[in-house]
């Protein structure tokens, strides 16, 4: 217990130092890299595969379009006339969907370079700017944030839009204006899957018998392999976390529900202290019928269990009804938790820590999802 407390303190002080150090630059990616050096055991870090670029980290450049096309594609959109901004060096959009936030950065624009009065909200024939009414169907908040850098050329102005619903944003530009088109995610995509790597950050989940391996890392590694399989399909996949960070169960569930996802799969590991002979795969589901989607929870739990077992040759423990778990209780879409193995069992752990084992588990989950989406 004491050692854990020490470690927690150490991590917190590293985090604090790093935050203070790079806050002037304001990039969380840097913080993440610094933190990982302190957190992971050396041998395990080496075995970790190369990071995939996940949608949340992507910087989307504007696509050229006419105003008519923007209107056709949007439930609502933002228009910023180009004459209102001194020509930016670079413009890009980031979709922070976990926070229901869309961020557009105008790089090379000086402080105060964008007036909030020039940010026009358009819905049909209705155009507004300035204060947002509480009844606004799309926008909760719009912030204009000046980002100062040491190199003045890199000064930028960020527009941060906090939304009330899950939208799929696209940044467009025409000769006259920049447009941020917002279309309800459920309309924008035919197939939506939410993948959830359990735990993260200070919440480490469970661990191996010798406490060398932590659940939060194993499930993230499996997710990375799963993501590479899923990116080759026609499904749109959202991840509740893509790095070692803490995400609340509420936010995880909110994403799946907000998207009205076709299915929601949460990846976890089991453990039984003093029960090293307990091993195998199980999936968990809630007994209630999902509000959205075409699948029963039990069907999803069954198909994922069967496919993971087939892919890994691990022991099939079965599907278990759990109406008490937050994620299962609050999800309104077809949902299953897959417990990929027991970290306290040597054979399960040895499979889960190796690249090849993680790949097999990922393939099993992938086939389960593919079957469920048929
Ligand atoms: Zn867990």
Q: In this predicted structure, what is the pLDDT of residue 32?
A: 29
pLDDT at position 294 over 50: yes
Q: Would you say the CATH fold of 189-373 matches that of 57-185?
A: no
Q: What is the 219 CA–ligand 1 centroid distance (Å)?
A: 9
- Segment 275-286 mean pLDDT: 97
pLDDT at position 280 over 60: yes
pLDDT at position 203 over 70: yes
Q: What is the 268 CA–ligand 1 centroid distance (Å)?
A: 4
Q: What is the 211 CA–ligand 1 centroid distance (Å)?
A: 15
Q: What is the 50 CA–ligand 1 centroid distance (Å)?
A: 23
Q: What is the 132 CA–ligand 1 centroid distance (Å)?
A: 40
H/E run at residue 5 = helix 2-22
Q: Mind listing the pLDDT tens digit for each residue in 33-63?
A: 222 222 223 233 333 333 344 556 689 999 9
Residues in contact with 12: Cβ distance below 8 Å, sequence separation at least 6, in sequence order: none
- DSSP 3-state of 46: helix
Contact status, residue 75 vs residue 182, Cβ threshold 8 Å: yes
CA–CA distance, 170 with 72 (Å, rounded to integer): 13
Domain locations along the chain: 1-39, 57-185, 189-373
Sheet (strand 192-197) strand order: 236-239, 192-197, 263-270, 335-342, 281-285, 316-321
Q: What is the 312 CA–ligand 1 centroid distance (Å)?
A: 20
Q: What is the 267 CA–ligand 1 centroid distance (Å)?
A: 7
Q: What is the 253 CA–ligand 1 centroid distance (Å)?
A: 15
Q: Quick one: DSSP state of residue 260?
A: T
Q: What is the 301 CA–ligand 1 centroid distance (Å)?
A: 16
Pick the CATH number of 189-373 from 3.40.50.720, 3.40.630.40, 3.65.10.10, 3.40.190.10: 3.40.630.40
Q: In this predicted structure, what is the pLDDT of residue 13?
A: 56
- Segment 342-364 mean pLDDT: 98
Q: What is the 162 CA–ligand 1 centroid distance (Å)?
A: 30
CA–CA distance, 195 with 244 (Å, rounded to integer): 15
- Segment 266-285 mean pLDDT: 97
- Residue-by-residue DSSP string for 117-148: GG-EEEETTEEE-SSPPTT-SSEEEEEEEEE-
Q: What is the 114 CA–ligand 1 centroid distance (Å)?
A: 45
Q: What is the 314 CA–ligand 1 centroid distance (Å)?
A: 19
Please give the CATH architecture assigned to the domain spanning 57-185: Sandwich (2.60)
Please indicate, yes or no, whether the overall pTM of this predicted structure exceeds 0.85.
Answer: no
């Amino acid at each position: 217990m004491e050692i854990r407390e020490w470690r927690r303190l150490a991590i917190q002080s590293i985090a604090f130092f790093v935050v203070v150090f790079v806050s002037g630059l304001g990039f969380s990616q840097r913080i993440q890299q610094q933190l990982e050096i302190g957190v992971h055991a050396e041998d395990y870090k080496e075995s970790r595969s190369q990071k995939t670029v996940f949608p949340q980290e992507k910087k989307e450049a504007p696509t050229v379009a006419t105003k008519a096309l923007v209107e056709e594609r949007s439930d609502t959109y933002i228009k910023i006339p180009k004459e209102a901004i001194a020509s930016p060096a670079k413009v890009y959009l980031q979709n922070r969907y976990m926070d229901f936030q869309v961020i557009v950065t105008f790089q090379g624009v000086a402080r105060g370079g964008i007036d909030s009065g020039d940010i026009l909200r358009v819905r049909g024939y209705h155009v507004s700017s300035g204060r947002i009414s509480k009844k606004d169907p799309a926008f909760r908040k719009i912030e204009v944030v000046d980002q100062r850098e040491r190199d003045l050329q890199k000064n930028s102005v960020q527009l941060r839009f906090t939304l009330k619903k899950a939208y799929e944003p696209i940044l467009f530009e025409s000769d006259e204006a920049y447009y941020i088109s917002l279309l309800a995610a459920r309309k924008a995509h035919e197939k939506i899957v939410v993948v959830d790597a359990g735990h993260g950050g200070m919440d480490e989940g469970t661990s191996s018998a010798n406490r060398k391996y932590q659940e939060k890392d194993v499930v993230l590694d499996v997710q990375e392999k799963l993501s590479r399989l899923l990116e080759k399909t026609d499904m749109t996949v959202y991840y509740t976390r893509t790095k070692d960070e803490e995400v609340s169960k509420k936010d995880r569930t909110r994403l799946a529900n907000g998207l009205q996802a076709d299915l929601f799969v949460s990846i976890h590991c089991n453990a039984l202290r003093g029960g090293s002979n307990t091993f195998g795969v199980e999936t968990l589901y809630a007994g209630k019928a999902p509000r959205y989607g075409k699948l029963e929870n039990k069907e999803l739990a069954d198909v994922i269990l069967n496919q993971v077992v087939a892919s890994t040759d691990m022991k099939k423990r079965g599907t278990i009804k759990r109406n008490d778990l937050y994620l299962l209780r609050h999800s309104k879409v077809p949902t299953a938790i897959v417990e990929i193995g027991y970290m306290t069992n040597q054979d399960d752990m040895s499979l889960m820590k190796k690249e090849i084992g993680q790949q097999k588990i990922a393939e099993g989950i992938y086939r389960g999802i593919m079957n469920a989406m048929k």
